[in-house]
Each structure stands twice: as structure tokens, then as C-alpha cells.
Structure 1
Amino acid sequence: MEKNNVILVDEQDQPIGTMEKMEAHRLGVLHRAFSVFIFDKNGRMLLQQRAAQKYHGGLLWSNTCCSHPYPDEATTAAAHRRLTEELGFDTALTEIFSFTYKAEVENHLIEHEFDHVFAGEYEGDVKINPDEVADYCYTSMNEIQAALQSKPAKFTSWFRIVFPQIEAWWQQHYAQPKPKEIV
């Protein structure tokens, strides 16, 4: 079934074929992925704890959501689709950067992804899909940084890899002092 396939890409994210998702993860073949980071107006990140039954990363904490676009699906459309499927909401998203990483994960699988990273803001209701998400919380960047230092094994490998880049982006968008209003 095509929906179980991932888009294989070269180092410039140019499509070179498709492969069944689990096979791509067993072989560690470079494929297209995306990660979504949602923040509230105070700059706290919406983290999710992955469902226990996920094929890897079960019960680990990670970014708001992440997945792979279907073949012939735009990456932005896939990010919106998964946000709705996993957390029951959608919001405006902006692609803020992309990067390539390779990491061994549980069950003898390898994540080798060209990852498109999206950010957005949201403060409404969250309705988790229990097949995808065990729990969620909004957490300050300082608390995340401390937890990554003291308990890194509680987070997914890709979250540990991407966090410094997200933190640098966040510093520019949320940590800057607001201009004072002239009265």
C-alpha cells in the first residue's frame, strides 16, 4: 500500500524513489520526514509522549508531532495532516529549517531522514489520538533543557539532535525582549 511508503531522497532532498516505511528504517535509507514544533504565546513548547505501541520511541517524549509525507503529498500538507491526526487540531505552520540526521533507535531500526522542521503557535484544545500519543504538556525551554541534561533517555533521539537548532530559533522568536510602549 502506497501510504506505507516513504519518499527516498538524495542529500539535496530530491526524490529518487519510494520504499516501504519499515524496510527504509531497517536499512537506514535516507528518506523525507518532517517535525512540527508548536509553542504557546509564552514560548512554551508543546511536547508529546509517544504512545507505548509505536514501532519505536514508545513512551518517549518528543516534539509536538513528526512523520513522513506520503508519496505525491506535499510536506506541508503532511505536517498539517499529522498534527490533526495525532493531536486533534491544526494551526498555521512555517517551515523554519531542514536538516539531515542518522540515528539508531529501538528495535534495530535506523532513522536516516531529511527532516523539514515546522513551527507554529496554538493555545486551544488538544484531543490526543491514543494510538499515537500517550500524553502531552506545554513546557518551558529551560525545563526542557534541564530534562535533556538530567534524563536524556526519556526523549527521542531526533528530539535530542534537533533541540539545539530549535532553541537557537526560539531565542530569536520568543526570548527577545519586547519593545517598551511609549506612553
Structure 2
Amino acid sequence: MELWDIYDESRVKTGKTMERGSSFKEGEYHLVVHVCIFKSSGEMLIQQRQPFKKGWSNMWDITVGGSATTGDTSQKAAERELFEEIGYVFDFSQVRPHLTINFGVGFDDYYLIEADVEIDKLKLQYDEVQQVKWATKDEIIQMLEDGVFIPYYKNLIGLLFEMRKSYSAHSQ
């Protein structure tokens, strides 16, 4: 059983929790994190979800993502998801998300990190991840068009590639 902290619309923890899969009440939200690893050459590490995984089965996705569990900060959730899904250790304690996107019942924090990860040394979580590979922005856009990548907005994928070295919404 996975428990999530419940937040209000201002992203303040309410002190309540909910079980994953439960219905949200009006004004209840939860926290989700995504981590995108970029190679110094500019490619993003992407993963293919297992065919038996609920939701987006067999589809390609950004490096890792998942819900924060009770007691997690955004940074701790990012560390945990990165380690659980691909076996990679990264210290997020001094890192802020590059962007947060509000969605119907929560907040999506996106972390963009650069690391020349050797994918053959990663330990993929069998329950979640089928395989990983490096991909360029154009390759991911093509995968979106082919319907084999989770249907993120193309502009979001472009933004992730653009923002990977900056915390600014400006190009300079």
C-alpha cells in the first residue's frame, strides 16, 4: 500500500494522507516528480515501460517519474524514483526543480540533470522499466508522432531540452 501526502492548492501539506488509487476530494492534490538525465552531448536518457505496467504500457517515457510518498520532499522523491527505477544515485539535496507544472490533482516537478551515465551499468527495476536508451530531441519528437512515446506536448519536450542547463525562462 502506497500512501501520499495531501496538499492544498498552495502546495502546503494538509497533514492528511491518501492511499494510491483513492479518489481525490475537492481541493486535494499530490506531488509527482520527473527526472530527466541528459548526456553532455545533449541526448536524454529515456525508458521503455514494461508491457504489464498499468498506464502507458510498453511506451517510452522520460528518464524516470513517480509520485512522492508520505514524508517525501520533492528532492527525496526524485532521489528515490531515480534509484528505484534505474539504480542511479544522485544527491538532490541542493537541487531545485527546473519547472513545476500544475495538473488536475497535483503538482509535477521536473528535475533536469546532466550526467554521462553508462547505461549498461544501470540496474533497471523489473516491475517498471523494460529498457533504457539515449535519444535526441528530434528522435523523441518522432517517437511522439509514431505514438510510441507517452503523449507529452512536443513543446514540453523541446522546453526540457532548452532548459537543461538553466533555471531561467530566458535564453540569456
Give TM-score, length-normalised by structure 1. Answer: 0.75
* Structure 1 residues 141 and 32: CA distance shift in structure 2, 3 A: same
- Higher-helix-fraction structure: 1
Partner residue in 2 for 1:32: 31
Q: 2:130 corresponds to which letter in structure 1?
A: A
2:150 pairs with one of 139, 153, 156: 156
The answer to whether structure 1 residue 167 and structure 2 residue 158 are counterparts is: yes
1:114 pairs with one of 86, 95, 107: 107
Percent of matched pairs sharing the same residue:
24
CA displacement 1:84-117 (0-9 Å, x = unmatched): 1110112355410101124xxxxxxxxx331111
* Structure 1 residues 22 and 138: CA distance shift in structure 2, 3 A: same
For 1:67-82, what aligned pairs fall within 5 Å after superposition?
67-82=66-81
Matched position secondary structure for 2:113: strand
Partner residue in 1 for 2:3: 5
Partner residue in 2 for 1:105: none
* Structure 1 residues 172 and 121: CA distance shift in structure 2, 3 A: closer
Q: 1:40 corresponds to which letter in structure 2?
A: K
Supply the distance in 2 between the matched residues of 1:37 and 1:113 (Cα, whole angstroms).
19
Q: 1:118 corresponds to which letter in structure 2?
A: Y
Q: 1:154 corresponds to which letter in structure 2?
A: V
CA displacement 1:127-176 (0-9 Å, x = unmatched): 2111110111110011112222x22x32224xx14x523522422546xx
Contact 1:91 1:120 in 2 (8 A): no
* Structure 1 residues 172 and 72: CA distance shift in structure 2, 3 A: closer
1:99 pairs with one of 96, 101, 116: 101
The answer to whether structure 1 residue 59 and structure 2 residue 58 are counterparts is: yes
Q: Which sections of structure 1, spanning at least 5 residues, go unmatched?
A: 103-111, 175-183
Contact 1:92 1:120 in 2 (8 A): no
Count how many residue pairs are aligned between Structure 1 and Structure 2: 156
Instruction: Report the alpha carbon displacement of residue 61 of structure 1 after superposing the two structures with TM.
Output: 1.0
Q: 1:96 corresponds to which letter in structure 2?
A: H
Give TM-score, length-normalised by structure 2. Answer: 0.79
